Structure 1
């Protein structure tokens, strides 16, 4: 039977007691507002379980803890055994950070609604509470907007995709596309809310906007060549034209976004804008200000700190952690998501069988060793990023994200002191079987399975390159 030393993320405190409790068990629910937000206390005796929580999120997290204690088979879609038990004891637990997020890029490579719902389930298992959904980029637009039908007719698909690394010349010749209807997104939001997860949408402006410009060329600069949804990866120089017409378009888009997503934070991008002018900066600031008038706060990547007259925002510190203190000094809140620590699309080894060796080498131990260097009330938390340029199937997303996302979950939830030598056996012996039961095709600790390699896309270089684009 699993014990308390198998839990992931690691709880704040555990007091073991003799005996076991049959599972499923009668659970008495109580509320204690004195507990920290999302916190819970489990009192497990042979006769039953008392679950005391600060709020609904605390109850959700406590249920995930009980599933872990009951064994891997409880993570299967249907029961295959009627006999389970959980150890007796008292667990008191609450998260270190209030923002424990993961970005899923569905713009570069589209993930179906069912695949997004599955990803939400996997976040819930790990007590992560924010899904940052990257909905638009140069390579695709994934949300329908009333009055702008060409966003789904044109911007939602591209004629082919780049094969392999940044700046590679090869294309696969396969059309790629997809988008979510308004009802699809309402369903995703509701499904996440039932699991105490907030969906933060991102509409990236003024860069990463070539798909929108392909649908409505008047949003971008004049060109002799007709605009197309981009088939390359990397950073495009195609920027939205900072005109009143563009702002009218963006207000319409974000007004629709606000009817779908109740999140208090709405992503507006603001990153990687080569050739940006002061007018582009004002566009970002005006959009953030407009969201403020609607009772929301904008989330922008740390490049926006170079813009004047920004209202209070949430800043994603991705280029380095130095952006964190700078943002706090300027009156903003911060989410720590540094590329050199928690970008899960980056390669996991230098072995020649590793699929498309992108970016920095970041092993499981590297990710687990990340220690947020910035603290304080304006540091909301940490967030992993799953950019999808080279993740063209849900199997590839699984491989890139897991088990490194398990390490991020522990960083975000558990007390600051951590020991990889203690974490590894919990992961290997107890948590990976849970992922097996869930059907997650994670990267094995000793390297990829043969079917997880990508010999059709040989590496061209192993030099670190920033692929935030």
Structure 2
């Protein structure tokens, strides 16, 4: 369904009459902020909608406004409650939720009966008497609610009563994503981040219609998920982090809390257990996983490529099977990521052997294999998804694998890695892939970045953030925002809308919203911030 959705919507909007329909005042370089008491132009959001038809009177949220939801649909009721929780503190209005869908108010209607909207699209219609979000699925309604939030003044995000008025411009937005996979990764291994910190990041990602959360759960510096059959992985291997801090790990209840919060934001969790390299935390926890039977000390540095599971030992595969079994049983999502990058201490022969045995284990427990793009140097089994993190786009082996049927997630490090420094003055992050300013992270096409890769092979995009130098939520946010919004737009909006000049005008309008949400962001000099 997801691939059919993508092709259907590409036909509907491939020619894109967005600029003609919405006018340059909606999304173009001449976009002007709304008057103090007027609504925000209908298309001036991130990601930019696929089709915008402005016109008619705006809808104004007032004391009589009700949130009207499709009756008998608990998920729609929950989305209505989510929206009410956003709007009530800042507007000061009661905004009762009712199952009576007719009449004045904000209407959330399930059953749009529009194949072009697919699984995640929505239609938002605003007029004097009501604003209606309609979709085929609850996920589509949720994404439509994010658009509705952005059409309101930025102060709507605040937790105390604000002045208003709360107007939504008149017209219709018809919108659906370019790619089914629109992800962000957070590395909780180099530095540990609590459940509350991860949930905060999930909420920030949801505003920009990200639908995949990739959790990097194991590495040399720490093992972050409890495994009952190998308990020392977490209790011993999780007790430190880069720089020697106390580390930490998620109990199964903690992990379930993250899963539940992600699900409430219509976000799928992709857990990653990095193998056969990046495995020092596991090797330190269990001596038998080492070829010499001696456990190395815990590691708190930042070098890579020095560790490897012992491929010839059968205990390695018993360990891998147990970990995958438990993680798969906890995780409702489709994917399980097995790493596979920077395995310099694993011989080519051993790497091939390990991946040949590891991939079927993931399949056995009902998950689709995801791995970093080095998996193509082994033999990807049918269905395996490779995550590209190169910088040149010249990798003939990746192109050959894609031509042979391997699907790709695009995360080029010199475009999508959110931990790269913005410039030479940036104090956080690293620059091994170069400096990545906001324009560079936006100005590329996932379908064409790797030469020779057919567009049909690209499932979507992901923005990873590695935490060697990041230990607080504020630091994560500073490096992620505003580059995350650009990756989100590449993943959601039609390719024909991608224009830096128009985008930076819309991105500038996000500054007050991020401030209202308490997001610590980088004020790039390339963006004309409001």
1:152 equivalent among 223, 234, 250: 234
Distance 1:324 1:440 in 2: 37
Deviation, 1:70, is 1.3
Residue 336 in structure 1 maps to residue 410 in structure 2:
yes
* Corresponding residue of 1:229: 298
* Corresponding residue of 2:387: 316
Deviates more, 1:206-215 or 1:254-263: 254-263
Asked if the contact 1:143–1:179 (Cα under 8 Å) also holds between the matched residues in 2, the reply is yes
Residue 76 in structure 1 maps to residue 76 in structure 2:
no
Residue 286 in structure 1 maps to residue 357 in structure 2:
yes
Distance 2:380 2:418 in 1: 33
Deviation, 1:73, is 1.9
Distance 1:93 1:376 in 2: 21
TM-score, length of structure 1 as denominator length: 0.88
Asked if the contact 1:140–1:155 (Cα under 8 Å) also holds between the matched residues in 2, the reply is yes
Deviation, 1:77, is 3.9
* Corresponding residue of 1:258: 328
* Corresponding residue of 1:394: 473
* Corresponding residue of 1:457: none
2:520 equivalent among 441, 456, 464: 441
1:419 equivalent among 482, 492, 499: 499
Deviation, 1:296, is 1.4
* Corresponding residue of 1:238: 307
* Corresponding residue of 1:405: 484
Distance 2:364 2:376 in 1: 20
Distance 2:401 2:502 in 1: 35
Listed as ranges, the matches of 1:354-393 within 5 Å are 354-355=427-428, 357-359=430-432, 360-372=434-446, 373=448, 374-393=453-472
Distance 2:208 2:384 in 1: 27
Asked if the contact 1:161–1:176 (Cα under 8 Å) also holds between the matched residues in 2, the reply is no
* Corresponding residue of 1:187: 257
* Corresponding residue of 1:346: 420
* Corresponding residue of 1:126: 208
- Specify every segment of 5 or more residues in structure 1 that has no aligned partner in the other structure, as ranges: 163-173, 448-469
Which secondary structure state, in structure 1, belongs to the residue aligned with residue 495 of structure 2?
coil
* Corresponding residue of 1:450: none
Deviates more, 1:41-50 or 1:61-70: 41-50
Deviation, 1:290, is 1.6
2:222 equivalent among 131, 140, 158: 140
* Corresponding residue of 2:339: 269
2:54 equivalent among 13, 16, 19: 16
Distance 1:29 1:296, change over 3 A: same
Q: Which runs of 4+ in 1 moved over 4 A?
A: none
Distance 1:192 1:77 in 2: 22
Deviation, 1:71, is 1.6
Which secondary structure state, in structure 2, belongs to the residue aligned with residue 19 of structure 1?
coil
Distance 1:43 1:375, change over 3 A: farther
Deviates more, 1:244-253 or 1:67-76: 67-76
Deviation, 1:249, is 0.9
Which secondary structure state, in structure 2, belongs to the residue aligned with residue 290 of structure 1?
helix
Larger RCO, structures 1/2 (Cα 8 Å, 6+ apart): 1
Asked if the contact 2:376–2:398 (Cα under 8 Å) also holds between the matched residues in 1, the reply is no
Asked if the contact 1:289–1:311 (Cα under 8 Å) also holds between the matched residues in 2, the reply is no
Which secondary structure state, in structure 2, belongs to the residue aligned with residue 391 of structure 1?
coil
Distance 1:273 1:28, change over 3 A: closer
TM-score, length of structure 2 as denominator length: 0.78
Deviation, 1:192, is 0.8
Which secondary structure state, in structure 2, belongs to the residue aligned with residue 180 of structure 1?
coil
Asked if the contact 1:8–1:426 (Cα under 8 Å) also holds between the matched residues in 2, the reply is yes
- Specify every segment of 5 or more residues in structure 2 that has no aligned partner in the other structure, as ranges: 1-38, 66-104
Distance 1:190 1:357 in 2: 33
Asked if the contact 1:344–1:384 (Cα under 8 Å) also holds between the matched residues in 2, the reply is yes
Distance 1:80 1:41 in 2: 28
* Corresponding residue of 2:44: 6
Deviates more, 1:323-332 or 1:400-409: 323-332
Distance 1:38 1:324, change over 3 A: farther
Which secondary structure state, in structure 2, belongs to the residue aligned with residue 26 of structure 1?
strand
- Higher helix proportion: 2
Distance 2:306 2:403 in 1: 31
Asked if the contact 1:347–1:357 (Cα under 8 Å) also holds between the matched residues in 2, the reply is yes
